[in-house]
Amino acid sequence: MDTPQIAAQALSRLPKKISYEEYLDLDLDAWTEWVDGEIIFLPMASENHQDLVLFLSALLRHYAEFHHLGKAYCEPFSMKTGPDLPGRSPDALFVAKENLHRVEKQCVRGPADLVVEIVSPDSVRRDRVEKFGEYQEGGVREYWLIDPKQEKAEFFTLSERGLFEPLPLEDGVVRSRVLPGLWLKLGWLWQNPLPPLMDVLCSWGLVG
């Protein structure tokens, strides 16, 4: 029996709908999200999914720390962008130093500045439609959507009108607006194995 099944049985006596605060108090071991008062159990991630999450979260964390820009986190860590919006667990996220007051012990209370989601076969609608709309409404400033199966990556920035607009790609390179100076080669994402972390940091000039 897998972890979500065990956790679901343990929670069977809870009311069907619980508050976000009650959800956080459960301190679940399983990877979950809170949507409309219900606990949603997410499936186990694949090896490729984990590799990409660790790769991107490490890049974000090292870059942010080197330039003293803020902090990066990876799943499972809840983020609730607004009072009437779900509590999601992005694959990776970055919070700028001026917004670190939003970070609490178990969640980010308010939008992260940059959110990364790795699209898996079961999460296409959730990532491309549901979370896209929620993150836009909640004020996430930059949203990265990475689909390793399709070898497709999309990057969005929040416009002054409060709408996600595509970040431009130049020769297969995207440049973040939330993390000034950070650029990413799309080809890195499809390499097998992924590029060594130190190679990317060297290309950014963070290490000699």
Q: Write the secondary structure of 97-113 as one string of H (helix), E (strand) and C (coil).
A: HHHHHHECCCEEECCCC
| pLDDT band at residue 11 using 50, 70 and 90 as cut-offs | low
Q: How large a percentage of the chain has pLDDT more than 90? A: 82
- Residue 129's SS3 state is helix
Q: Return the number of other C-beta atoms located less than 10 Å from residue 142's C-beta.
A: 21
- CATH topology (fold) of 46-203: tt1808, chain A (3.90.1570)
Question: What letter does residue 168 receive in the DSSP assignment?
Answer: P
| pLDDT band at residue 174 using 50, 70 and 90 as cut-offs | very high
Q: Nearest 5°: phi and psi at 169? A: -110, 130
d(CA 128, CA 126): 6
d(CA 53, CA 51): 6
DSSP 23-75: HHHH--SS-EEEETTEEEEPPPPPHHHHHHHHHHHHHHHHHHHHTT-EEEEES
Burial of 80 (0-12, 13-18, 19+ CB in 10 A): buried
Which distant-in-sequence residues (6+ apart) come within 8 Å of 195 by Cβ? 188
| pLDDT band at residue 9 using 50, 70 and 90 as cut-offs | low
Q: Where are the domains of the chain?
A: 1-44, 46-203
Give 119-167 pLDDT, tens digit per residue.
998 899 999 999 999 999 999 999 999 999 999 999 999 999 999 999 9
The whole-number average pLDDT for the span 79-89 is: 97
